[in-house]
Amino acid sequence: MVSSNQEFTRRRLLKDGFRNVCILGIGGASGILMARGQTDQYCWQIDPQKCIACGNCATFCVLEESAVKCVQTYAMCGYCKLCTGFFDPAPNALNTGAENQLCPTGAIIRTFVEDPYYEYTIDESLCIGCGKCVKWCKAFGNGSFYLQVRHDRCVNCNQCAIAAACPSEAFQRVPADQPYLLKGTNHSG
């Protein structure tokens, strides 16, 4: 009886000791990790310089309707009458007929500003983030259309499914206080 009692105590002592070591370990590890981080949170964003508008954003997002949408930096836009991001490469006519549009959902709104300039705005409720307009705008226009993760929609997965599928490593974690990588507005006009 005495021996078993002693064993009991020794075991308890060891257990308590190990537990305290573990608590110190947890405290130390979290302290080290905390000391390093200034950012409170990360979120995902697309680097428009790396994006090749492959179309994965439209299909790989865990959301039924992708959190990635096209955005427009107006100050970069050429306000072209013949917008290569708006019109199909071989349109029947240069009007807003659906068959003439590049966008599969007709999410780009074309508004007349003054001759010969037209404003192009993305209707985000229609945009699916396929990047067709981005590709053509970048190839033949000013590249003012580009894809961004819209944070009113993004659920901020720990591992973004699009990031895993991105062929050009354009997805990156950015601090939540600067959640967008918008293209510059460095034009002289």
Partner 1 sequence: MIHCTRALPFLILLVGVSCLGQDIQRFPPPDFESGYEFPVTTTPAPRAGTLNYLDVAVLFMALSLASYLALIKRSRQGIFALTIFSLLYFGFYREGCVCSIGAIQNVTLALFDPSYSVPFTVAVFFFLPLLFALFFGRVFCAGVCPLGAIQDMMLIRPVKIPHWLLPALGLLAYLYLGVAILFAATGSAFIICEYDPFVTFFRLAGNRNIVILGISLLVISLFVGRPYCLFLCPYGVLLHHFTRLTQWQVTVSPNECLQCQLCEEACPFGAIDPPTPKGMPAPNKQDRFRLVFLILLVPIFIAVGGWVASLAADSFSRMHFTVRLAEQIAWEDASEVDKFTEASQVFRDTGQPKEALFQEARHVRDRFVLGAWILGGFLGLVIAGKLIGLSRYRIRSDYEINATDCLACGRCFSYCPQEIKRRRKSKSAPTVRQEAGNG
Residues numbered 146 to 175 that lie near partner 1 (CB under 8 A) are 150-152, 154-159, 161, 164, 167-169, 173
> Per CB under 8 A, which of residues 56..95 are in contact with partner 1?
62-64, 71-82, 84, 87, 89-91, 93-94
- What whole-number distance in Å separates Cα of residue 178 and Cα of residue 165? 24
Is residue 17 exposed (0-12), middle (13-18) or buried (19+ Cβ within 10 Å)? exposed
> Per CB under 8 A, which of residues 89..148 are in contact with partner 1?
89-91, 93-94, 113-114, 116-117, 119, 121, 135, 138-143
DSSP 87: B
CB-based contacts of 80, cutoff 8 Å, min separation 6: 117, 118, 141
Q: Decide whether 1 or 36 has the Cβ nearer to partner 1.
A: 36
Is residue 24 a contact residue for partner 1 (CB under 8 A)?
no
Answer yes or no: are the C-beta atoms of 53 and 147 closer than 8 Å.
yes
Query: 6, 24, 29, 97: which one contacts partner 1 (CB under 8 A)?
Result: 29
Q: Decide whether 18 or 105 has the Cβ nearer to partner 1.
A: 18
Give me the least distance between CB of 108 and partner 1, in Å please.
Answer: 14
Answer yes or no: are the C-beta atoms of 145 and 72 closer than 8 Å.
yes
